Structure 1
């Protein structure tokens, strides 16, 4: 089965309870080609994060039901390592430190300029256009994207596509990810990609996870969805 691909756009989860500000941000980001999913409280942010794959999450700290920091802690505890920018109306150092300690990657202090936010997004796009995060860990495995190397009890080299695929799976560990989502993120827009091609790369990665005796595996049948999880036993 061939996947008909659309042009890839960065998918953003925006958690901001000030609806007017949220509307302004969604409109501005959409106009620049970003795909934005808005939510208005911390609990909904946790739910949406668990259900989908995002390239970036932007969380306000002060939100109802769960604060941005509480939501982020739950998301990180579930294994999600997606890049997160925190928004705060307070400029005190302690608030920024609290957010970073909770797992945030960056922060913006309100009021902020749209130009500044867009500059952060462009910087993030440049950093991730090849593979994504340089070094990622999940369970007992380490993925060095720059070196295209998978490490556990020993190490093994990966191809460029294998590296990008495992990077995305680690960032979204424990989530079931549909085949079309993986293909959209891993392959270029001008490549004709079939389900069979993705299945071949999933199979390659499974073999290499076993080869390094990792206590991590990729679950899912041919056609997906696929899920990266920790296991009790290694691959050998």
Structure 2
């Protein structure tokens, strides 16, 4: 999953980015409102972490612009502004959640997972496609009773496909959700990851779950 962090306090921004990457999220980082607005308009994200007190353009103004333009990416406001009026203003502007600094990182992660599940209309943190189970909290995968051990990128791909069961996901879309905007990796690397996923998830089973759609991309087969 790909997260945009817009936070002007550099030490906190770097700490957030590092922590999220350690949890296998792909992270783009913006240190001011203008850069954050540009990235959100130019890329697709699974969620955005947004500070309110930003230089150049404040977070509330950015959020209102996104919603007015139809950008419905889930937004978690992360700010030191903690009065009831400020919380109400943030939620009424279109935020999906509001977390006050200082905060516990585990709580931030739990709120992010909940936002992403809500976006995909899922309440259960365990995704199930046929006999494939994906625990999005523990980031573990099973096929039947057998646990499948995946690399971080392999897990990110299978999780993303599972959030879009039966949908054809292009290589470009998968790449966009696996790598940050500055990455020099090409979309061809997706084919390599899919090859490894097939060996781990499908090779020992008669029912193949990962499908290649010629000229389109990949999909997880649903019953």
The TM-score, its normalising length taken from structure 2, stands at 0.58
Alpha-carbon distance in 1 for matches of 2:121, 2:72: 10
**8 Å Cα contact 1:16/1:40 also seen in 2:** yes
For residues 126-178 of structure 1, give each alpha carbon's deviation from its aligned partner in whole angstroms, at most 9, with x where no partner exists.
Answer: 445xxx147xxxxxxxxxxxxxxxxxxxxxxxx9535x98xxxxxxxxxxxx7
* Residue ranges of structure 1 left out of the alignment (5+ in a row): 1-9, 135-158, 166-177, 199-236
8 Å Cα contact 1:59/1:87 also seen in 2: yes
* Counterparts of 1:31 and 1:89, CA distance in 2: 25
Report the equivalent of 2:64.
73
SS of 2:112's partner is helix
The count of aligned residue pairs is 148
CA distance in 2, matches of 1:24, 1:31: 11
Write out aligned runs for 1:140-219 (5 A).
161=166, 180-181=172-173, 190=198, 191-194=210-213, 196-197=215-216
2:79 touches 2:100 (CA, 8 Å); kept in 1? yes
Indicate conservation of the 8 Å contact 1:42/1:70, yes or no.
no
In structure 2, relative to structure 1, the CA distance for the partners of 1:104 and 1:184 (3 Å cut) is same
C-alpha distance in structure 2 between counterparts of 1:47 and 1:23, whole Å = 19
Residue in structure 1 matched with residue 155 of structure 2 by the alignment: none
Alpha carbons of 1:97 and 1:195: their partners in 2 closer, same or farther (altered >3 Å)?
Answer: farther
Answer whether contact 2:32 2:56 (CA < 8 A) is retained. Answer: yes
How far did residue 122 of structure 1 move? 2.8
Q: CA deviation at 1:20?
A: 0.4
Tell me whether 1:30 sits opposite 2:21 in the alignment.
yes
CA RMSD of aligned residues (A): 2.8
Aligned match of 2:41: 50
2:11 to 20, 24, 45: 20
**In structure 1, C-alpha distance between the alignment counterparts of 2:111 and 2:6, rounded to whole Å:** 17
2:76–2:112 CA contact under 8 A, matched in 1: no
Superposed counterparts of 1:116-135, under 5 Å: 116-128=107-119, 132-133=120-121
The answer for unaligned runs of 5 or more in structure 2 is 123-163, 178-193, 199-209, 218-223
Contact 2:46 2:116 (8 Å CA) reproduced: no
Per the alignment, residue 88 of structure 2 pairs with: 97
TM-score (structure 1 length as normaliser): 0.55
Alpha-carbon offset, residue 196 of structure 1: 2.5
Change (3 A) 1:193 1:78: farther
